[in-house]
Chains A and B, each alone.
Chain A
């Protein structure tokens, strides 16, 4: 179980260029462009699921997050140069020229044999998914940073009669809820702090996307602590985040988000 300490903020589209150069100066390194695709699954609503386990402990029904890296060059085959400046072009709901069908194939398994070979050429041998379950962030008014426990496992591949990851997870009792595509840049700051500036789209089938960060960018600064009991590292991470918060204050105001907005439990539907 990883403890993720984090602070969030937003900037608008026009501030992006200046923000990137400021953060690059601060971190001393250029940003790294990244993109990932996440499928969020919920327990099958047709199932009558107990709230408690055999030991009579209360178990909250959380959503599962299934996530893997999607190289931009695979999504958008025709563009040659890719750096942080690319993100400025993605202001809209739609992602023109993006091969969104590929995302569907990744989840459900491609039925078209020819296309499968092409996909394999683009993303070599990579069937690996990260599967994680996040708890609601810890409560308490005196907290200086948001802290969220994340349980994670790695799925290397799927096989069997219908060899898609989604068909296995439906056997597990989970069905697709929504899908998100994130494109962003990442800064490696001092003291193990990562800072991500990203745009997020909700993917609705192979054709349609809706940008959830329209008009701006989400900023997330975080530190991962491998063990929730490692108080020393937690304190260290908290101080590192607070240091960054202080350094950026007045420009980017990093703050703790409402913990309900980071709640993945099934009952919490209001924000989704």
Chain B
């Protein structure tokens, strides 16, 4: 699995339609709608060392079984509000009561003296395009009702080399060029290149392009 995120800040709400049109020759199918939510939290502790980071990000992806990844300082956890089967082992062994909340809720309720939410960026009702090579998700991004830009998530589910994936991504970048989008942020980095972890890396890429 490979992934890359593109965020086009200099775009209009209609840019997504132009992107759809230019992709349409490549499309096999249009798949489910998707959404994401990106939140930034700030550590309120006063006596931190001056060079340490205060920001923590949480990203929730509907197409990843609604899992959330919480990242601070390149350290991450994957959480979920999933009920049932997953919790069964924990419940049987007395670890869990079987009723879970999202980690964001935990931060907002029990840890709000340590962490304050700074911003919330959302992409709702985005489109998923399947091409022969890639799964591409695109959505307009809003922050508190104001339009922020166009976000494109590119995932390759095939087992291909990094170079091959690069090439497939550059094809998409050429399409963007055709609709005269050349100024954007792109990230395909890994959180920890020694130990790749798909969902953590994906979250890392979202954070890199979305953080201000």
Contacts and interface: CB of A to CB of B under 8 A. Distances in A.
Interface of A: 1-2, 4, 32, 34-36, 38, 43, 46-55, 57, 59, 61-62, 67-69, 126, 128-133, 150-163, 165, 167-168, 171-173, 182, 184, 186, 196, 198, 224, 226
B94 A49 contact: no
A57 B109 CA distance: 10
B97 A224 contact: yes
Contact of B80 (A36, A38, A156, A186): A156
Nearest to B113: A59
B101 A158 contact: no
Contact of B191 (A150, A155, A161): A161
B97 A2 contact: yes
B79 A133 contact: no
A149 to B, nearest CB: 10
B81 interface: yes
A38 B101 contact: no
A43 B114 contact: yes
Given A153-B100, A154-B86, 7 more contacts: A4-B97, A35-B93, A47-B48, A54-B112, A160-B75, A163-B195, A168-B75
A-B pairs, 10 with minimum CB distance: A69-B93, A159-B200, A59-B113, A53-B112, A67-B95, A130-B96, A159-B197, A161-B74, A171-B72, A160-B76
Nearest to B74: A161
Given A48-B46, A53-B113, A173-B114, A156 B95 contact: no
A159 B99 contact: no
B67 interface: yes
